[in-house]
Chains A and B, each alone.
Chain A
Amino acid sequence: MIAYAPSQLDNLQVSEAVQKACYKKQLSHAEQEAILQRYASWFYSPNFFIRIGLFLLTCVVLFFFFGLLVLIFLSVIDKAIGGMSIFFGLIAWACLEFVIKNNRHLQSGVDDALLWIAVALVTGGSSYLIGAGPIGNSLLVFFITLMAGVRFADRMLSTISFLALVAILFYIGVKIGGWGTLMLPFVIMVLSAGVYFWSRYQLARFPNILYQKCLNVLCVAALVVFYGAGNYYIVRELSSQLPGAGNSSMPVASWIWWLFTGLIPLAYVMRGILSRDILLLRTGIVLVAVIIFTVRYYIAFADIEIIMAAAGAFMLIAVYLATRFVKWPRRGFTNEVDDFGEEEKGKRQVESLLQAETLSAPPAPVPGFGGGSFGGGGASSEF
């Protein structure tokens, strides 16, 4: 099923756990050395930045290769493009299998690029050849991304696969019309809840670390879609656009959707704190902001700048309370850094660049430096 050797993935898990333990000084250096030697995994996984570089360059290679094919068949391109896409996608897929088996690449950038381009070309080409409608296209995307997602344990593909499943249900509901559209939000909520609990169940059985990462992303996606299916704005705007719907037609009473809009994020946050589930907590916090946007869209209860200022003040207070809250070790949260040294340093550097980007007063440089005529700035981003 999975393209990577399972025993090697176990080794990877052991060496990651051991490196973390050694960083936290829970293992002696000699122990670490011995374990890393015994559990060396053979994968080629370069540094994150090298991965970006390899990804971009592999995309360049594939793009021009495909371009060359297009150039050669330029005269018959209309008829050939569908088959060519599938053909080239399959070649990329074969290359992917080769670099994994032969060069033992794992998240090296090369395999990421090959995988995404292969999936995109095969899906696009088949869709073009079949000329499928929305349901057919969603089915196509679902099956291909599911297959590739399971085989290569890719986070993005597994998420797309889930979204395609949602899309299938959506288009079927629309096609049925009437009660089909009325039931749609509930059906999608049930599906999301099912995917969420299935992912949690699978996570509790501790699959290999690649699947663990996929399942975590899937959990977040399921939480977001579950909320989206019950969100007032989404339900209202989508159902008013469906054929045969009046301007203000809403499935069931509108207060139910307001209830979902307001309560689901709070429930996520509460549950996240109580069960120490950081994914649930973070998703909940982001969705709390969505509540404000949703309400603001229908009821202009305050000017945007007042909301910004109030939200900012609220966040500062919340953070202050959070820093007090984590001081009790029994609560299960901490404000200590849990990254490795290098990763933490990297995050700090990115943060500083972000601050320079957003907080610097932009003094528009007017041509003629040295002539003394550049106007010192105008209003900054804050004032």
Chain B
Amino acid sequence: MQPTSVFDRLLEEGLISPDSHQKNVAAITNDRVSIHWDIKTNLYLGVSLLSAGLGTLVYKNIDTIGHQVILLVIALISMGSFYYCTSNKLPFSTAKVAAPHPFFDYILLLACSTFVSFIVYLQFQYNVFGNRYGLATFFPMLVLFFSAYYFDHLGVLSMAIVALGAWAGLTITPLHLIDSNDFNQSSLLFTAMALGALLVIIGWFARRQQMKAHFEFTYSNFGIHLLMVSCIAAMFHFDAASLFWCLVLLVLAYLFYRKAIHDTSFYIVLVIILYAYFAISYVVVRMLGKVSDAGIGMVYLGFIYFIVSAIMMVLFLINTNKKLKAI
């Protein structure tokens, strides 16, 4: 069916007024192609390529340029970008603030990433913060959080949360949460749990107090993954108590599930269900493995467990989807 004939048909059936018909047919024939996301993608790639290329260039020629010059250039880029952002930004509000210009968000990104580089460079080369390493991550983190709220930028907020994790000794960039942290240390595990809980609470608070409520997703996304991954890591690490940590995970999962249903967040529902299913399956497989004298029978039982449980999870997901759509 042709796009315009959809509305012809609706007009014939008397489902729309001639006025609406005309409006829609005109909109389809004059439809303009949106390149909004093409512009955003290219801006992002452009900023990344430019800064990475220049960075490598500087790194290779460090002997001829000299550290002071490089630091100066980085500082100038950062200050210039921040200056542009402060002089062009729309007034602060606790609600969502739109960017005044398509380039604004990316200039702010440039400002923030060069600022972080400046601090890292300063510490690396001149040891400005001495042995107080915490300060070298704490200070950029403060600036990032401030920028995220002051200019209203989700990407900078994510960078700030990652910096907060780094300050606590954790790598929480989304793709390196599992492989870059050594969860075999109890202290790191508990740090991760505490940080996850803190992020979830901040997110909850942001929504409740309407203080940049649209930041909530970013906070709770980092928080929930951190909490769930550290619970699973605890199941592996404290082997004797794995059932206990599985229970902790399930209780948390239930709470998050309730909240996700309430917020109609399909993404969180999926993530929670998969974490919970993984944890339960781990416990089941371990229990089957402990029955040592049954041999191949246990393997069969394990396979049947996965078939039955996965079918049950499918039904559960379908049901949840129905529940969420009904809201």
Contacts and interface: CB of A to CB of B under 8 A. Distances in A.
A67 B35 CA distance: 47
B47 A383 contact: no
Contact of B53 (A52, A206, A310): A310
B116 interface: yes
A233 B170 CA distance: 44
Contacts of B24: 21, 26-27
A377 B137 CA distance: 9
B154 A382 contact: no
B102 interface: yes
B306 interface: yes
Nearest to B129: A376
Given A26-B23, A337-B34, A377-B136, A206 B50 contact: no
Contacts of A319: 39, 42-43, 46, 102
B267 interface: yes
Contacts of A60: 306, 310
Given A305-B57, A376-B123, A377-B124, A282 B157 contact: no
Contact of A369 (B15, B52, B188, B274): B188
Given A50-B317, A309-B50, A351-B155, A26 B35 contact: no
Task: From A49, A351, A383, name the one whose CB has the most chain B CB atoms within 10 angstroms.
Answer: A383
A191 B293 CA distance: 62
Task: From A49, A282, A311, name the one whose CB has the most chain B CB atoms within 10 angstroms.
Answer: A49
B270 A52 contact: yes
Nearest to A48: B266
Q: Is the interface of B mostly helix, strand, loop or mixed?
A: helix
A49 B274 CA distance: 11
A248 interface: no
Interface stretch (A131-139, A214-222, A359-367): A359-367
A373 B23 CA distance: 67
A311 B46 CA distance: 7
A318 interface: yes
Given A312-B45, A319-B42, A359 B159 contact: yes
A232 B209 CA distance: 60
Given A13-B1, A366-B169, A372-B131, 7 more contacts: A14-B6, A34-B15, A305-B57, A334-B35, A335-B34, A356-B173, A377-B137
**CB-based closest 3 A-B pairs:** A312-B50, A309-B53, A308-B53
Interface of B: 1-3, 6-7, 9-10, 13, 15-17, 20, 23-24, 27, 32-40, 42-60, 70, 74, 102-103, 109, 112-114, 116-117, 120-121, 123-124, 129, 131-134, 136-137, 140, 154-159, 161-163, 166, 168-171, 173-176, 180-182, 185, 187-188, 191, 217-218, 221, 266-267, 269-270, 273-274, 296, 299-300, 303-304, 306-307, 310-311, 313-314, 317-318, 320-321, 324-325
Interface of A: 10, 13-14, 17-18, 21, 24, 26-28, 31, 34-35, 38, 44, 46-50, 52-54, 56-58, 60-61, 63-65, 67-68, 71, 110, 206, 208, 276, 278, 281-282, 285, 303-316, 318-320, 322-323, 326, 329, 332-338, 346-349, 351-367, 369-370, 372-383
